[in-house]
Amino acid sequence: MRRPALASWPLLAALALLLQACAAPAPYQRPALELPARFKEGGLDWAQARPGSSLPAGDWWTLFGDSELNRLEAEVAASNHDLKAAAARAAQARAAVQGAQAAGAPQLSAGIEGSRAHVSSNVVGRSLAGRTTNDFSTPLTLSWELDLWGRVASGVSAATADAQAGADDVGAVRLALQSQAAMAYFQLRALDAEKLLLDHAMSNDAADLALTRQRQQAGIASDLDLAQAQAVLDTARTELTDLDIARSAAEHALATLTGRPASGFSLAAAGGQTALPAPPAMPVALPSELLQRRPDIAAAERRVAAANARIGVAQAAFYPSLTLGGSAGLESARLAELAALPSHFWALGPMLAGAIFDGGARESRLHQADAAYDVAAETFRQQTLQALQEVEDSLAALRLLADEDTSQGRAAAAAAQALALTRDRYRVGTVSYLEVLVAESADWAAQQRVLDIQRRRLQSSVQLMKALGGGWQAPVSSF
């Protein structure tokens, strides 16, 4: 007996392969970018980074040589809840890959069925009219859609790229949080140093007030001088309160970043330090290396790859699907005879099906996929440009702040000398207290300016490390 359906399978397979070649999406290529050969603000003072440099792999904050900062950064990595949420999202994306892969696997199901039915007596042409029947069966059903046009493969590629982007997102969140922790830490240390300077200034203000009171009682100083000296001391006390408020806020921010409630976290002040350390010397990467070093750029690129793969999914919808189906099992009108050999049944055959008219739904999905790719590609390009800007901004800030630190250091030394000379002259009565006030104001402003520049240099170093993507950590996903 001829079996034309089976004999036509080779022809059907050949046609399927031909259509598959037509349906295959274009190979993925990373969006083109024009990158500069070097950073404009890098100058000659920055060492060109190479993978073999001494920059720590990932633990970039160790460059600052602060054991307390190292401890806090370790707590951020271990306990921050935003980071844990990002890791959970990455795990969710990895699980989606398995789901996408399962779409291309054979689907096998089994069941046990039983029914009792009565057929109408008024049905014409049925031998069971007016009778009540039983039916018991144990069907086993197999269905396998052959991925002729790459729909499943494209879906797996999209899910895999999404999972890689999720892993890169974890790195981006970690880098952002650790940068925030370093910024808050240096803010707190700057406030500690400023508080020590203010304590020293208040001691001098108290001594000035006592001296002015003695001079006022002796008829040398006026009531105005005494009132001004008292106002200076009270103003300093107010500034001290403001510093305490700002320090509390920085401490609370560190508590949240390390995954702890603010009420249960405290950080002791750095003892005796009225100045902040100079930022460490850091190498700078080539602009092209940002594409591999920054996890947020890596994630953006992986999303371009995912969008490209989804174009393949949309294209495959224009072609018919070929499904191999089959069923087998046991079926009987009597439960006692269900396991008997004559009760077995089976069926096997292919099904080729496709949409003829859908009102433009497939075209719409393809246009959406194309537009989604354009969005992802332009986002990737913009993030890369933004990263280049962030590096240039940080390099410029560090270069200019270094010069400003030098000049402001000289200004602070001159202001301190002027204040000392003015106080000496006030004690011997050759100048008025107003001149002391002017000298004190200039000295305090100069010291605050020095501390502010030192803090900004440290924080700009943190921003540079963040802009460079951290240390020489291998990229999570390869392009």
Q: Please tell me the distance from the alpha carbon of residue 305 to that of residue 208, in angstroms, as a whole number.
A: 70
In angstroms, the Cα distances linking 149 to 145, 154, 207, 320, 438 are 11, 9, 88, 9, 82
Indicate whether 473 pLDDT > 70.
Answer: no
Q: Which domain holds residue 443?
A: 33-103+149-319+364-467
Residue 442: the pLDDT is 94
Residue 10: the pLDDT is 56
Residue 22: the pLDDT is 52
- The residue with greater pLDDT, 199 or 329, is 199
Domain-embedded: residue 328:
no
Q: Please tell me the distance from the alpha carbon of residue 235 to that of residue 206, in angstroms, as a whole number.
A: 12
pLDDT confidence of 259, banded at 50, 70, 90?
very high
Domain-embedded: residue 9:
no
In angstroms, the Cα distances linking 377 to 53, 175, 388, 456, 478 are 32, 23, 17, 35, 17
Domain-embedded: residue 279:
yes
Residue 94: the pLDDT is 95
Q: Tokens in use for 16?
A: 């399927």
Query: Which residues does residue 134 pair with via DSSP β-bridges, in sequence order?
Result: 116
**Cβ–Cβ under 8 Å, residues 345 and 330:** yes
Average pLDDT of 419-436?
90
DSSP H helices in 317-360: none
Residue 328: the pLDDT is 77
Domain-embedded: residue 4:
no
Domain-embedded: residue 143:
no
CA pseudo-torsion sign 423, 424, 427, 430: negative
Kindly report, residue by residue over 395-421, the tens digit of the pLDDT: 899 999 999 999 999 999 999 999 999
Total domains present in the chain? 1
Kindly report, residue by residue over 264-279, the tens digit of the pLDDT: 899 998 877 888 998 8
CA-CA-CA-CA dihedral for 442, 445, 447, 450, to nearest 10: -120
Pair type for strands 113-118 and 132-146? antiparallel
Give the CATH number for residue 166.
Answer: 1.20.1600.10
Q: What is the DSSP string of 408-444?
A: HHHHHHHHHHHHHHHHHHHHTTSS-HHHHHHHHHHHH
Indicate whether 83 pLDDT > 90.
Answer: yes
Q: How far is residue 422 CA from its own chain's centroid?
A: 54
Q: Please tell me the distance from the alpha carbon of residue 219 to that of residue 412, in angstroms, as a whole number.
A: 34
Domain-embedded: residue 304:
yes
Indicate whether 19 pLDDT > 70.
Answer: no
Q: What is the DSSP string of 228-297?
A: HHHHHHHHHHHHHHHHHHHHHHHHHHHHHHTTS-GGG---PPPTT--SPPPPPP--B--GGGHHHH-HHH
DSSP H helices in 103-222: 151-217
pLDDT confidence of 221, banded at 50, 70, 90?
confident
Domain-embedded: residue 153:
yes
Query: Which residues does residue 133 pair with via DSSP β-bridges, in sequence order?
Result: 117
Q: Please tell me the distance from the alpha carbon of residue 66 to that of residue 60, in angstroms, as a whole number.
A: 12
**Cβ–Cβ under 8 Å, residues 326 and 141:** yes
Closest Cα to residue 142, out of 113, 111, 110, 112?
Answer: 110
Domain-embedded: residue 112:
no
Q: Please tell me the distance from the alpha carbon of residue 333 to that of residue 330, in angstroms, as a whole number.
A: 11
